[in-house]
Amino acid sequence: MTQPASAKALLPLGLFLTLFLGTGIYFQLSGVDYAFYQLASPVAILPAIVLGVLLSKQAFDARIDTFVSGVGERNIVTMCMIYLLAGAFSTVAAATGGVDAMVALGLNVIPPQFLLPGLFIIAAVVSTAMGTSMGTLAALAPVALGLGQAAEIDLALLAGVLVSGAMFGDNLSFISDTTIAATRTQGCEMSDKFKANLKIALPAAAITLIWLFTYDTGAVPPKIPDANLWLSLPYFFIIVLAVLGLNVFAVLTLGIILAAAFGMVTVGYEWVAFSKDIYEGFTSMQEIFLLSLLIGGLSALIRQQGGLQFLANTVSSITSRLFKHKQQRAAFGVAALTGLTNFAVANNTVTILLSGEVSKRLAEEGNLAPRQSASLLDIFACVVQGALPYGAQALLMGASFGLSPLDVSIHTGYCFILGAVSIGMIIWRKPLEARASGVTA
């Protein structure tokens, strides 16, 4: 049973962030190499979990049950399975020469000065088709890493661009979990939410592209690897399958099989090596796999102890005092509630499900159209998720590129731009809505 709203329930999250980010920043300022790897994130979260268990008022066995149910939550387990398949696909594709083939092809097709905007667009299209940012990143990360190394592009920037494009599609796709959750909780049609969302996402994407064009990535002649271009075909197969709407698990599994098959035919890739590479790919995702499970458990404890209800009550109280115009108050309330909830649970779909009911109430009180509240729910869940250093996307790209997740998250320019454009439009729309009658579009 969920306890009444309590600020104390958020203390474990504060402890985790203090240890995880504070330790990394300290070592960074001290000039230590790999500063954010000095304290492994799954270890940093353990004291927070202990604190969360101690703060609970449930019977001890019930506290453990709450934690374990959070660890086994459907979205958490889904993410972890994607991690494993992504690691296996990346390792097998690299071992068979598929990554080199795609890098060589990409460098021959895309002018070096257009690599960043090109990768943003590719990630956005694939993510829109697949309906998942995680599946998109898993499929594109190996190729993007190879392109970045060949063209000597800052890998943190490149990782941020890839996450940015993936979050664009995740936010808009009709088959995305976030779209489905947002429209169901707010009671609107997907097409209506899409149209409202597009009015904000397209200007943000345009600004992002202009920003990316300012980077001169063609200054250093890229080192095009020698590769058998036939080995790039598995990538095209999985992109086509993704565009056709095939489930992400099927896409990644077929990607692994096709990469291995092409390697066996063209370069003599062996079955024994195949099995070892799959396991190596699994182990490369060990840290983010463990952290995601533990974050799921901690989030369940915070939710059960009233931490999320405290956030909802606080947001409602503050917005009612700060904003006189009821639609503007409702819009800011939905945005703030969604952002803070995502900050606490580190999962955009779970965030929408948790904050959807309160957001709908805020929207009804402020005469905000359901399509608008659904759009804001999805937007701010994606904004925070993409920029969160302990979010799944930053963790996956950090593991794939050998970077600190914080380095990835601070370079997700589109997410910050999308948030700023959304807030700007909420403020700008105020006088228009004040003169309009009824619910505005």
Main-chain dihedrals φ then ψ at residue 291, nearest 5 degrees? -65, -40
State the average pLDDT for the chain.
84
Asked whether residue 81 is domain-assigned, the answer is: no
Tell whether the model's pLDDT for residue 436 goes beyond 70: no
Q: Are 400 and 149 in contact (CB under 8 A)?
A: no
Asked whether residue 344 is domain-assigned, the answer is: yes
Asked whether residue 122 is domain-assigned, the answer is: no
Asked whether residue 406 is domain-assigned, the answer is: yes
- 268-295 mean pLDDT: 88
Tens of pLDDT, residue by residue over 90-122, are 788 888 887 677 767 776 777 878 889 988 988
pLDDT at site 325: 79
Helical (H) or strand (E) element with 11: helix 11-29
Tens of pLDDT, residue by residue over 24-50, are 788 878 877 667 668 888 898 999 999
Per-residue pLDDT band at 441 (split at 50, 70, 90): very low
pLDDT at site 175: 67
CA-CA distance, 294 to 303, in Å (whole number)?
14
Asked whether residue 259 is domain-assigned, the answer is: no
Q: Are 415 and 378 in contact (CB under 8 A)?
A: no
Asked whether residue 369 is domain-assigned, the answer is: yes
CA-CA distance, 121 to 205, in Å (whole number)?
9
Which residues constitute the domain of residue 313? 307-428
- 341-345 mean pLDDT: 81
- 364-389 mean pLDDT: 90
Q: Are 224 and 107 in contact (CB under 8 A)?
A: yes
Q: Are 3 and 306 in contact (CB under 8 A)?
A: yes
Q: How long a stretch of residues is the chain?
A: 441
Tens of pLDDT, residue by residue over 163-221, are 999 999 889 887 677 887 888 888 888 788 888 999 999 999 999 999 999 987 766 56
How many structural domains compose the chain? Answer: 2
CA-CA distance, 86 to 140, in Å (whole number)?
10
Q: Is 292 left (phi over 0), alpha (psi -120 to 50) or beta?
A: alpha
* Highest mean pLDDT of the ranges 221-225, 372-376, 429-433: 372-376
Range in 2-16, 233-247, 318-332, 384-398 with the lowest mean pLDDT: 233-247
* Highest mean pLDDT of the ranges 182-186, 285-289, 356-360, 371-375: 371-375
Neighbours of 7 (CB within 10 A): 12
Asked whether residue 86 is domain-assigned, the answer is: no
Please tell me which residue, 345 or 277, carries the higher pLDDT value.
277
Asked whether residue 288 is domain-assigned, the answer is: no
Amino acid in position 86: A
